[in-house]
Amino acid sequence: MMTLLKSTAAITILIVDDTPDNLRLLTQILESEGYCVRKALNGKMALQGVHRDPPDLILLDIRMPVMGGYEVCEQLKASTATLHIPILFISALDHMDDKAQAFAMGGQDYITKPFQDMEVLMRVKNQLLIQQQHQQLQQQNQCLEQEIAERLKAEAEVRQLALTDELTALYNRRGFFLLAGQQLKMAQRTQLPCCLLFADIDGLKQINDTFGHEVGDRVIVDAAQLLKQTFRDADIIARLGGDEFGILIPTCLEATEVFCLRLQASIDHFNQAAARSYQLAMSVGVQLCALTDDASLEHLLAQADKLMYEHKRLKGGV
């Protein structure tokens, strides 16, 4: 296929005709304008040459022995590799039915024998120009599609950043209220159970005061990782701020209690796995989302927060 802005000498035209005199005459006409000309005496030779090295345009005789021009055209148009090569039929047949059939087979133009030099050159130039404009339009469309894809990707990244906590890569408070709020409304519509958890790291202030905020940030990241490992992809986990986390779980209370036990086991394993200057501990409040009312997410989160502090108080946490 012709690339954009080719010089005339770089444009290859294949002539397919079983009459040597026609090949010689057409070659002289086209070479006089600087085109690179290839020749084939029959359809089989033409197909082999096209598949080996596709030309930019084909002048194709209709009536040839063994394989006629229509059959050659049909095979070329059936392949995605040669589909867009312009084909100009050449024939002594001048009836409208013959021309109509040529166009129906996929030909771009029709030149009647005997040839007129200027007519051949103008029809060839017109088809090459149309082909070049088509390629330019394709390139512009590809560039536009790429720009749109890049813009959509950038917008998605911006939206993701706006909803994501920078330190932990969990959802931030805004992301949690957006997604958990939607999940809660759907649960109230479908009457499917869900639970809200409010989790808090015990003793983070003391860790910050003793070891510095860099270690404190590491503790927050460790807690976030344990939450992600404990809960499922379907659960909405967020860092609400500081050392506080919110988790909305679309499941029943009994299953949520299993998750809480699993979280505590993960924390115990974390503390035992390596010698650290601190021990990670978390307090959790669990609030069943009543589906019989329209309680807001803020209200349910406040209730879970109270239960979390009760849990912390019972443990003697800070």
pLDDT single digits (tens) 110-142 = 999 888 899 999 999 999 999 888 888 888 888
The DSSP call for residue 66 is S
pTM for the whole structure: 0.56
Q: What is the pLDDT of residues 156-198, one digit of tens each?
A: 777 777 899 999 999 999 999 988 988 888 888 888 888 999 9
Q: Give the residue from 60, 35, 53, 41 showing the smallest Cα distance to 128.
A: 35
Fold classified for 173-315? Alpha-Beta Plaits (3.30.70)
Domain locations in the chain? 8-140, 173-315
- Out of 8-12, 27-31, 68-72, least confident range: 8-12
CA-wise closest residue to 1 among 119, 192, 169, 138: 138
Residue 294 — very low, low, confident or very high, per pLDDT cuts 50/70/90?
low
Q: Which strands sit side by side in the sheet containing 12-16, from one edge to the other?
A: 36-40, 12-16, 57-61, 87-91, 109-112
Mean pLDDT score of the chain = 89
Give the separation between CA 263 and CA 184, rounded to whole angstroms: 23
Q: 8-140 belongs to which CATH class?
A: alpha beta
Alpha carbon distance 198, 73 (integer Å): 71
Instruction: Give percent above pLDDT 70 in the chain.
Output: 96
- DSSP state letter for 307: H
Mean predicted confidence (pLDDT) in 38-62: 94
